[in-house]
Structure 1
Amino acid sequence: MAERTLRGARLGGQSFEDERGIEFAARQQVGYACENGHRFEITMSTEAEIPATWECPRCGAESLSVDGITKEEKPEKPVRTHWDMLLERRSEKELEEILTERLELLRGGEIGPAHLHRGRRKAKA
């Protein structure tokens, strides 16, 4: 077991790699200012897509880019209601027929809550 151990090195304590021959990515400073007057800069890669807003590190408010980068407006989807989704599956004529059938069953006591039909069953008997 002693043959397999590493001697003279603290595992995880230090790296044996050096920075020779490594090219760092090109960087740029991007400025932001929040509505409370705080100004700060973030270091980003020159290849990165720069966001129009950033959270202020002091107060947490939304900060806008000082460089004039604007936020892209996404088109809003129209709100789909339950009725809209139902009309995608059935026509209004079909829905009227289903409603008529279900109302007849409900009025006849075949479906629905039992407490609505107790009096009718006694009257029929």
Structure 2
Amino acid sequence: MAGGNPIRGTRVGAGRMGEAERGESAPRVRLQFFCGNAHTTTLAFASDAEIPETWDCPRCGLPAGRDRDEPPPPIRNEPFKSHLAYVKERRSDADGEALLAEALERIHARRSPSAAESD
């Protein structure tokens, strides 16, 4: 019986079947990337693939480049900002005071008719 199940006679995790069953693998290029913490990462790319300028180091997360002597600088992360910090960036203190005065006037206007009715 020539047909049948191609997996028959193997077990899960048995490893490679060999190039004859899978076909030939694509030609590869092995390149090294270096990060600022002196970690070296070796990666394999298809020979016709576009090679990236930087790669994230799998050990420390810093960007890694092809030049061992001059690795790329770390990416500058902005610190966490609260909603109030963003508001303060958009508005000056004078704008904030004007908005607060308007809001307080509205609150007093809503409360004053109800206070007059309760007398």
- Taking structure 2 as the reference length, the TM-score comes to 0.42
